[in-house]
């Protein structure tokens, strides 16, 4: 993974000292509440319902075991001994004290981590595919490009006070595992006819109150122009985005108002001016810098192995052990490198808030990454953790250790692997609780044979329309709403975050907390009754439409 | 006399910022609203003091494209410090129009923005009256460098140092 040089380290250290001074001035009453707000947000600190919350950046989801151990230590020293993995691949501490945050940031800086721009109206952490570097369908490893974007966006002097938050995702593969069309800028790595790498740039995607799928504005951007073009997009947005109404301030609203074509023209015009000014091309990316960054993402030394023999041995182990076979089926994925697998550790056991892990589990995860991989792991937007480059002959040992630590729940990609925001238990924005709904669903669907029979199914829960739980792109989405002080839940169907991204549609009137689980059961019954052989929930829904689901859920009891 | 930060040091601010509608023009150095400047710049020959222009955050800097050479000061107003449009306006003034005069941040500007404002081309800062300018000035150096190009730096860090 990327290792800081002296310049990277110095910036992060200076940021810690800047924030230490800001916190002190705030505590001394020299900075008002209003002025301190964006300063602390841009250092990751929210003030939540019960306590402050600190969001730590995990750039494009990549962490070292050293960093994971540091998070465990921080959670013990400054928090309650657990952390939360978010849908944007970051990590949240739920109970730090405001006065301790500078010390926490200093601890993070000691392992090349930070919380810079994890909140606030600025450019946030860039996200990507958790299988980067090992996915069979990859065009190119997106992580070096994410790192280049990370550096460009960090303390960008022009774009720290945007109309609203700004999220960038990079997709390097055929299948989209980064939901990149649901970001303010979605960047897809592509090759032109000459085999050169470039970028297909999309803008204006996003969830939240007004979910929109991003529009293409630049089919092929040559790679050396990545940063100048991003400057142009951000400048147009910074100047013309809506600043009067925060609900209309995201770039998607501007793109919609102008139309994508006009927005693209405005960006082209701005970009042309930037290029005209830069006659010697000094602002352009150099192949030297790109190669320098790429050297930090080497492929491990893969052994040449007899994959067929390994697979046969795995089959033998699996046939003796149904629990192991379930885990292999759901949580293990082949890599493009023969004989190696990428394992997903589930952070969704029933009874635990999705994405929450204890300090001990963090240390176990770090141990697994050291023992079975190269000491690196990846966080996922589904709130799980991936350890790649595990040699298949060690999968059984891996599984036994992961299972002992409660990290081997074999439900990846099923209804029980739901995305869920912290909801009304923690978040001051939420209209309704989401974690208890997730738990009730997991409890209801404890029969793993039934869960597997339901197959691939994404169920996403948000506690309010800000959509942190990505309900718009769940095959089944659940949205918490407030009705006269009571918590109700709207059901949406048909969302998808893949390359044929689709936004879910509301099924009908919202359900009370008591009726949600039963409603989900009815939806699943309709699916099971109507599916064709091998057809997943989303495909059945797309084929038969919403009516049958609607009739069943809202049928008056006879 | 009002004070401001100018090129990193505390300096006298002997400029008057005029609001629309402009009725009488005072003696001394003045900053005119953009609208007034665009309509009346030709009539200002007898003005004894220096004349600059100030822009509201929603006014486009392009309006001054032909005038920058004759303006010793262009001020950009921040109605709220979180309104970041002035950052882009300053960069355009420096990068696109080669503006060599002073770019002054006025309105609701805070100490913690100084480093970034300076990188975007601002040279003068009018902070709130109660701010200790000497103490605030150190925030101009909150960071020793930046990754990106800026009005102060045509080359990104990787090109200069790596």
Cβ–Cβ under 8 Å, residues A51 and A44: no
CATH of the domain at B113: 3.20.20.70
Q: Does A535 touch chain B (CB under 8 A)?
A: no
Q: Which residue of A has its CA nearest to B144?
A: A11
Selection from A143, A142, A136, A48 nearest residue A96 by Cα: A48
d(CA A166, CA A147): 17
Q: Does A238 touch chain B (CB under 8 A)?
A: yes
Cβ–Cβ under 8 Å, residues A123 and A156: yes
Q: Quote the pLDDT of residue B29.
A: 95
Q: Is the pLDDT at B114 greater than 90, yes or no?
A: yes
Cβ–Cβ under 8 Å, residues A203 and A263: yes
DSSP 3-state of B135: helix
From-to residues of CATH 3.30.413.10 in chain A: 134-294, 419-554
For A316, counting Cβ atoms within 10 Å of its Cβ (0-12 exposed, 13-18 middle, 19+ buried), the class is exposed
Q: Which residue of A has its CA nearest to B94?
A: A277
Torsion angle, CA of A385/A391/A392/A395, rounded to 10 degrees? -50
Q: Quote the pLDDT of residue A351.
A: 87
C-alpha angle with apex B144: B139 to B150, nearest 5 degrees? 90
Q: Is the pLDDT at B4 greater than 90, yes or no?
A: yes
Q: Which of A14, A162, A238 sits opposite B144 (nearest CB)?
A: A14
Using H for helix, E for strand and C for coil, what is the string for A63-125? EEHHHHHHHHHHHHHHCCCEEEECCCCCEEECCCCHHHHHHHHHHHHCCCCCCCCCCCCCECC
Q: Quote the pLDDT of residue A131.
A: 93
Report the residue of B89, B136, B147 to disrupt the A interface, i.e. the one with the largest count of A CBs within 10 Å.
B147
**How many structural domains are present in chain B?**
1
Cβ–Cβ under 8 Å, residues A238 and A166: no
Tell me how long chain B is.
162
d(CA A94, CA A83): 7
pLDDT tens digits, one per residue of A459-497: 999 999 999 999 999 999 999 999 999 999 999 999 998
CATH 3.30.413.10 at A419-554, yes or no? yes
pLDDT tens digits, one per residue of A184-234: 999 999 999 999 999 999 999 999 888 999 999 999 999 999 999 999 999
pLDDT tens digits, one per residue of B116-146: 999 999 999 999 999 999 999 999 999 999 9
Q: Quote the pLDDT of residue B44.
A: 83
Q: Which of A39, A238, A286 sits opposite B159 (nearest CB)?
A: A286
Selection from B50, B57, B43, B46 nearest residue B72 by Cα: B50
> In Å, how far is A279's CA from the nearest CA of chain B?
11
Q: Does A157 touch chain B (CB under 8 A)?
A: yes
Give the rounded percent of residues in chain A with a pLDDT score beyond 90: 91
Report the residue of A157, A267, A275 to disrupt the B interface, i.e. the one with the largest count of B CBs within 10 Å.
A157
Identify the bridge partners of residue A459 per DSSP, sorted by sequence position: A476
Tell the residue number behind the tokens 């839940």, with chain if given: A489
Chains A & B: contacts with CB separation below 8 Å: 107
Average of per-residue pLDDT values in chain A? 95
Average of per-residue pLDDT values in chain B? 96
C-alpha angle with apex B56: B103 to A38, nearest 5 degrees? 85
Q: Quote the pLDDT of residue A427.
A: 86
Sheet with strand B73-78: strands edge to edge:
B9-13, B2-6, B124-125, B102-107, B73-78, B51-55, B29-33, B15-17
Q: Considering the domain delimited by A307-404, tell me its CATH architecture.
A: Alpha-Beta Complex (3.90)
Q: Considering the domain delimited by A6-109, tell me its CATH architecture.
A: Alpha-Beta Complex (3.90)
Q: Is the pLDDT at B52 greater than 80, yes or no?
A: yes
**Helix H or strand E encompassing A309:** helix A307-320
- Complex ipTM value: 0.98
Q: Quote the pLDDT of residue A557.
A: 64
**Among A72-76, A240-244, A265-269, A438-442, which is the least confidently predicted range?**
A438-442
Q: Which residue of A has its CA nearest to B61?
A: A239
Q: Is the pLDDT at B1 greater than 80, yes or no?
A: no
CB neighbour list of residue A105: distance below 8 Å, 6 or more residues apart? A15, A16, A19, A20, A43, A114, A115
- Name every chain B residue with its beta carbon within 8 A of the beta carbon of A35: 81, 110, 112
Alpha helices in B48-147 (DSSP H): 85-95, 114-119, 133-136
Average pLDDT over residues A334-362: 94
Tell the residue number behind the tokens 């030394």, with chain if given: A301
pTM over 0.80: yes
Give just the sign of the alpha carbon dihedral A116, A119, A121, A125. positive
- Name every chain B residue with its beta carbon within 8 A of the beta carbon of A151: 147, 157-158
Average pLDDT over residues B39-67: 92
From-to residues of CATH 3.90.480.20 in chain A: 6-109, 307-404
Quickly state the pLDDT bin for A343 (edges 50, 70, 90): very high
The strand pair at A168-171 and A419-420 is best described as unpaired
Q: Is the pLDDT at A558 greater than 60, yes or no?
A: no
Cβ–Cβ under 8 Å, residues A205 and A197: no
d(CA A65, CA A78): 20
- Domain enclosing residue B129, as ranges: 2-161
- Name every chain B residue with its beta carbon within 8 A of the beta carbon of A289: 158-159, 162
Cross-chain residue pair A292–B110, CB shorter than 8 Å = no
Average pLDDT over residues B52-66: 98
Q: Is the pLDDT at A428 greater than 90, yes or no?
A: no
Cross-chain residue pair B110–A38, CB shorter than 8 Å = no
CATH 3.40.1160.10 at A134-294, yes or no? no
Tell the residue number behind the tokens 């008591």, with chain if given: A514
Q: Does A22 touch chain B (CB under 8 A)?
A: yes
Six-digit token string for A248: 């209309």
> How far is CA A98 from each of CA A46, A104, A356, rounded to the nearest angstrom?
9, 10, 22
């Amino acid at each position: 993974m990327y290792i800081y040089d002296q310049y990277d380290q110095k910036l992060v250290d200076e940021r810690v000292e800047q924030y230490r001074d800001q916190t002190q001035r705030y505590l001394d009453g020299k900075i008002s509440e209003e002025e301190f707000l964006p300063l602390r947000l841009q250092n990751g600190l929210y003030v939540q319902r019960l306590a402050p919350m600190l969001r730590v950046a995990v750039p494009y989801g990549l962490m070292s075991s050293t960093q994971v151990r540091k998070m465990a230590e921080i959670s013990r020293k400054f928090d309650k001994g657990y952390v939360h993995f978010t849908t944007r691949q970051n990590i949240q501490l739920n109970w730090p004290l405001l006065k301790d945050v500078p010390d926490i940031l200093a601890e993070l800086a000691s392992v090349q981590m930070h919380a810079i721009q994890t909140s606030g109206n600025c450019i946030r952490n860039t996200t990507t595919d958790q299988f980067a570097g090992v996915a069979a369908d990859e065009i190119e490893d997106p992580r070096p490009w994410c790192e280049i974007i990370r550096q460009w966006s960090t303390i960008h002097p022009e774009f720290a006070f945007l109309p609203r938050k700004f999220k960038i995702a990079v997709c390097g593969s055929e299948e989209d595992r980064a939901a990149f069309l649901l970001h303010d800028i979605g960047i897809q790595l592509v090759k032109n006819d000459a085999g050169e790498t470039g970028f297909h740039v999309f803008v204006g995607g996003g969830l939240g109150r007004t979910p929109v799928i991003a529009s293409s504005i630049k089919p092929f951007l040559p790679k050396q122009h990545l940063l100048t073009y991003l400057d142009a997009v951000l400048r147009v947005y910074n100047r013309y985005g809506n600043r009067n109404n925060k609900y209309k301030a995201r770039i998607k609203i501007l793109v919609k108002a102008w139309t994508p074509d006009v927005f693209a023209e405005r960006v082209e015009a701005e970009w042309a001016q930037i290029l005209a000014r830069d006659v010697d091309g000094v602002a352009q990316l150099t192949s030297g810098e790109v190669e320098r960054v790429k050297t930090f993402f080497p492929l491990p030394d893969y052994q040449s192995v007899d994959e067929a023999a390994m697979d046969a041995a795995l089959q033998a182990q699996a046939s003796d052990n149904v629990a192991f076979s379930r885990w292999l089926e759901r949580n293990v994925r082949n890599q493009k490198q023969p004989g190696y697998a990428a394992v997903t550790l589930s952070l969704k056991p029933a009874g635990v808030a999705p994405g929450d892990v204890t300090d001990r589990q963090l240390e176990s995860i770090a141990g697994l990454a050291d023992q079975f991989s190269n000491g690196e792991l990846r966080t996922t937007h589904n709130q799980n953790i991936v350890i790649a480059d595990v040699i298949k002959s060690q999968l059984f040992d891996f599984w036994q250790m992961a299972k002992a630590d409660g990290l081997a729940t074999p439900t990846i990609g099923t209804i029980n692997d739901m995305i869920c925001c912290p909801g009304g238990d923690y978040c001051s924005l939420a209209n309704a609780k989401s974690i208890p709904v997730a738990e009730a669903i997991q409890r209801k669907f404890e029969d793993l044979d039934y869960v597997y029979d339901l197959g691939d199914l994404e169920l996403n829960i948000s506690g309010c329309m800000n959509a942190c739980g990505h309900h718009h792109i769940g095959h089944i989405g659940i949205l918490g709403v407030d009705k006269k002080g009571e918590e109700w839940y709207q059901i949406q169907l048909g969302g998808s975050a893949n390359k044929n991204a689709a936004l879910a549609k509301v099924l009908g009137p919202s359900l009370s907390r008591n009726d949600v689980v039963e409603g989900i059961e009815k939806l699943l019954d309709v699916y099971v009754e109507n599916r064709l052989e091998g057809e997943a929930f989303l495909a059945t829904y797309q084929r038969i439409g919403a009516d049958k689901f609607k009739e069943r859920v809202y049928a008056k009891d006879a | 006399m009002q004070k401001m930060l100018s090129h990193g040091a505390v300096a006298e601010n002997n400029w008057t910022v005029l609001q629309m509608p402009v009725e009488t023009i005072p003696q001394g150095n003045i900053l005119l609203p953009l609208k007034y400047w665009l309509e009346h710049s030709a009539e200002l020959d007898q003005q004894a003091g220096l004349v600059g222009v100030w822009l509201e955050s929603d006014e486009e800097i392009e309006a001054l494209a032909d005038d920058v050479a004759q303006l010793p000061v262009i001020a950009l107003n921040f109605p709220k410090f979180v309104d970041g449009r002035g950052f882009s306006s300053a960069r355009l003034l420096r990068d696109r129009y080669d503006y060599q005069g002073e770019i002054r941040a006025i309105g609701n500007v805070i100490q913690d923005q100084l480093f970034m404002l300076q990188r975007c081309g601002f040279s003068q800062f009018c902070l709130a009256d109660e701010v200790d300018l000497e103490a605030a000035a150190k925030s101009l150096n909150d960071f020793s460098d930046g990754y990106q190009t800026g009005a102060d730096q045509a080359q990104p860090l990787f090109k200069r140092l790596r």
